[in-house]
Chains A and B, each alone.
Chain A
């Protein structure tokens, strides 16, 4: 059942939230040992919450648009009293004293949190192999990675553990695993969804978004979690129209561009073939399609791998062994800080902290961080020109289908290249999503990325619905 179906059944009293939740907990219990999508399954809490929702329905109250829908949360979303680790040893056992805004919103909409999902440590990675608690496997082929960093969330939805999961996307961390696991994944416009309670990786790039099996489910969840939040200064202060209502409006007359810089070089032929199929589907639904070009997009990866680590190096300074999480003692506070951080962070996190520290350090700021912020301007300008001619852009979400576990762990640069298609949109703040579109030569899912200008979610979802229906 999809999330929309579950909510309808629970609200109408056809099904109890408890039976829905029990059913999903059973699937998790039966399957997660092979997948390791979850860091924590909150079974008792989920059942109690389901009973509350059933109680509300019984007493004639509407629990909300996601009534009884099981939701898995990436383990970097703060949940009061429920461990939130970012898959890092340094935060092991930390139970936040507050809920993230999205967690409150889901709760108020009647959703039921079933657990916290595995991820690359502090969201740094593209395969979920950088987890402090072991990798997650791709449910489509357990010898493959699920993508990352929100691999646990993508896998949870793909495996049927939950119809909905939330992830975070800093450079593709929702879209790329969605593509690799064959589910829908949305990175909303920066500022559309509150970041309050999302443990920061790179503040100017991070955005929370949903994983679902259908486009309609993604729209329903986005409508719940989007909106202004007085606790996030970067949240867009005007409420936006819901995306669910315009899903069926089609793409007739829309101008769609195939973004050349993300669709040619380095894209596997089987992935490129699926993109072509998607383009034909949009065309036959009435869209006009042409090649589009944003030349600076090719520099996205370079700008991203300076900006994101720079912000991260500062965001992750607080893990110092003083207030929460791990402490490895030492004779002095500086020694204790160093011992704690050296033991608590994994290699990829250390690497990025070092890159970021270097890019910001005296004498290098202008050459690295300052220059990257200018490249960011260049990319934004290029996209601005593209939006004068196009309503939407498409590209592959990932250059390849899911790659084997262990293939890229020893080669950080090869891993970074996995983000080449997804990174530019984080730099520009625009909306983007990945929609599953067939399979590659290896039988593994291929995702098509749809990109829209800032706050272009309604149009983006229309195209997503058309692609989904064309399969």
Chain B
């Protein structure tokens, strides 16, 4: 393996962005595994891709538009029965700490 492609600190940062908490052992292990994968995918660095457009969808399908006609709504009780914690017809969560970014 060549130079390290992702550091332990970067790995910890990525985990935090994804709202994952890793133990020290997991962090060590994942850093190594991610680094190995990034090292493998680095094979594409040799390719000349400058002139190529990125592909988002493999097939040229036209966008589908939906008429603005109201359809069925979900039954609130059925939905809230699946919720970990519901109150007053709403989903209850611990304090959110701040406004949305």
Contacts and interface: CB of A to CB of B under 8 A. Distances in A.
Contacts, number: 174
B19 A338 contact: yes
A345 B25 CA distance: 17
A429 interface: yes
A373 B82 contact: no
A331 B94 contact: yes
B9 interface: no
B19 A373 contact: no
B36 A413 contact: yes
Given A97-B74, A333-B95, A368-B41, A374 B54 contact: yes
Given A327-B85, A374-B49, A341 B44 contact: no
A108 B51 CA distance: 48
Given A332-B96, A355-B34, A373-B55, A233 B64 contact: yes
B39 to A, nearest CB: 9
A299 B75 contact: no
B55 A376 contact: yes
Interface string B39-55: 01101110101001111
A305 B95 contact: no
Interface in B1-43: 6, 10-11, 14-15, 17-22, 26, 30, 33-34, 36-38, 40-41, 43
A302 B41 contact: yes
Given A368-B41, A429-B58, A322 B19 contact: no
A355 B62 CA distance: 31
Given A322-B91, A358-B10, A378 B30 contact: no
B86 to A, nearest CB: 10
Interface in B50-101: 52-59, 61-64, 66, 74-75, 78-79, 82-85, 91, 93-97
Contacts of B84: 321-322, 324-327
A98 B79 CA distance: 11
A347 B25 CA distance: 12
Nearest to A189: B59
| Residue among B33, B55, B75 with most chain A CB within 10 A | B55
B20 A342 contact: yes
A32 B45 CA distance: 47
Contact of A94 (B20, B41, B82): B82
A233 B94 contact: no
Given A230-B66, A326-B84, A333-B96, A342 B21 contact: yes
A324 B75 CA distance: 15
Nearest to A298: B43
B97 A333 contact: yes
Contacts of A230: 64, 66
B14 A305 contact: no
A377 interface: yes
A373 B34 contact: no
Nearest to B92: A322
Contact of B59 (A299, A342, A429): A429
Contacts of B53: 374, 377
Contacts of A302: 40-41, 43-44
Interface of B: 6, 10-11, 14-15, 17-22, 26, 30, 33-34, 36-38, 40-41, 43-45, 47, 49, 52-59, 61-64, 66, 74-75, 78-79, 82-85, 91, 93-97
6 contacts: A236-B61, A342-B20, A342-B21, A368-B38, A371-B45, A380-B58
